[in-house]
Structure 1
Amino acid sequence: MSSSIVIALPKIEDAKKIRTILNRHGLTVASVCSSVSNALASISELDSGVLICGYKLTDAYYKDALDDLPQYFEMLLLASQRIIDEAPNSVSTVQMPMKASVLIDTVNDMLYHLERRIKKEKKKPKPRSEKEQNYISNAKRLLMEKNQMTEEEAYRHIQKCSMDSGTNMVETAQMLLMLMYDEI
């Protein structure tokens, strides 16, 4: 998944100038526009990235775009200090007039942190279904009854068996249930 940049400023010429600056520093801009609706339309076709925008666009304010940003998009607001002081904490900011180096550094930082967040969330295990959770709960219950274990001991036992056998916890719980029911 590669992150993209969308620029939305009220004056399209300003957006194009910023695109040129970003391109010179190796950053690819997916789209340049002057309205929130066009920016959101462009963003909807992308996986992740940064929306660089001004305070007021041709059809709405930056906060309107912020409300509709997808999970893996972050906003960089280019505005005066007065507007920046009122911006929510979730919005990164660069004060106007700006230096190109500050813009480049800020965008690079945002893209780096966004990529890290995406990688971290991809590594998270997906939540278990109710059926899968029931296998583990039933295996724990049987271990607690048959082997006089606490709930934590039963869970650790399933976890250890899972690691030792190289199977996930649900498969291990299913195997334990089959073995224990065969004994009954």
Structure 2
Amino acid sequence: MKKVLLAFSDGLMAAQLRTVLEQAGFCVCRQCAAFQELVDASYENEEEYVAVTQTKLGRGSITQYAPMVSSRCEILLLLAEGEEYMGRATGLLALPLPTTPADLVESVEMLFETMPARLSQEARTLPPKPKTDEQRELERKVVTEAKEVLMRRNQMTEEQAHRFIQKRSMDSGARMAQIASHILSTDGDMAS
């Protein structure tokens, strides 16, 4: 069954969306009250999700949290009346409100249909894992150092820094150590 995450502050809107999506055959498996909760839910298991959300939730903005969402989760933004389209800037699919139930369902379905092709392409491009314990330990150290840079420079928690590196790794098809090395080289460039 195709699983959907909802992230809305308006309980009535969330209930209406849940009804439309469940009637269309989707499983609304989680309703989130904050973007960090949405990020956490996107990593709970290896399943694919579509997250239906708004651009602002509490004090957070989707532009802050979208890079931390699992690569197995596509995001559909529902834009309030008069709100500008953010899709190009964020790489997210947006749908302006008011919308019809059919448009909502078609948008969610389209995200599910395009997801498997992207994921199978990513799986084909992932480089092999390191072969020795020494190589694995070296990669762990590089990732740890990069997390420390992100925590210091970008004021992330350790968990956020790890998710940031992990997301970039999944999106690019590069190992986490490669992404971490790039972060460390950027930090060195700024210090010089």
Length-normalised TM-score, structure 1: 0.61
**1:41-80 equivalences in 2 (<5 Å):** 41-47=40-46, 48-80=48-80
Say whether 1:92 aligns with 2:82.
no
For structure 2, the 5+ residue unaligned runs are 132-192
3 and 90 in structure 1: CA distance in 2 versus 1, 3 angstrom threshold: farther
Say whether 1:14 aligns with 2:13.
yes
Where 1:71 maps in the other structure, the secondary structure is coil
**Aligned-pair distance for 1:41?**
2.3
Matched with 2:127 is: 127
Q: Distance in 1 between matches of 2:32 and 2:130?
A: 46
Q: Distance in 1 between matches of 2:24 and 2:65?
A: 26
Q: Distance in 1 between matches of 2:126 and 2:79?
A: 39
- Give the length in aligned residue pairs: 129
Say whether 1:112 aligns with 2:113.
yes
**Aligned-pair distance for 1:77?**
0.4
Length-normalised TM-score, structure 2: 0.59
3 and 65 in structure 1: CA distance in 2 versus 1, 3 angstrom threshold: farther
What do residues 131-177 of structure 1 show as CA deviations (whole Å, max 9, x unaligned)?
Answer: 8xxxxxxxxxxxxxxxxxxxxxxxxxxxxxxxxxxxxxxxxxxxxxx
Whether the 8 Å CA contact 1:8–1:39 is kept in 2: the answer is: yes
Where 2:91 maps in the other structure, the secondary structure is coil
Please report the RMSD computed on the Cα atoms of aligned residues, expressed in angstroms: 2.4
Letter in structure 2 aligned against 1:13:
L
35 and 26 in structure 1: CA distance in 2 versus 1, 3 angstrom threshold: same
**1:163-182 equivalences in 2 (<5 Å):** none
**Aligned-pair distance for 1:72?**
1.8
**Aligned-pair distance for 1:10?**
1.4
Letter in structure 2 aligned against 1:117:
R
59 and 43 in structure 1: CA distance in 2 versus 1, 3 angstrom threshold: farther
Q: Distance in 2 between matches of 1:126 and 1:97?
A: 41
**Aligned-pair distance for 1:86?**
3.6
119 and 3 in structure 1: CA distance in 2 versus 1, 3 angstrom threshold: farther
52 and 46 in structure 1: CA distance in 2 versus 1, 3 angstrom threshold: farther
For structure 1, the 5+ residue unaligned runs are 132-184
Whether the 8 Å CA contact 1:78–1:95 is kept in 2: the answer is: yes
Percent sequence identity is 18
Whether the 8 Å CA contact 1:3–1:115 is kept in 2: the answer is: no
Q: Distance in 2 between matches of 1:125 and 1:75?
A: 23
Greater Cα radius of gyration, structure 1 or 2: 1
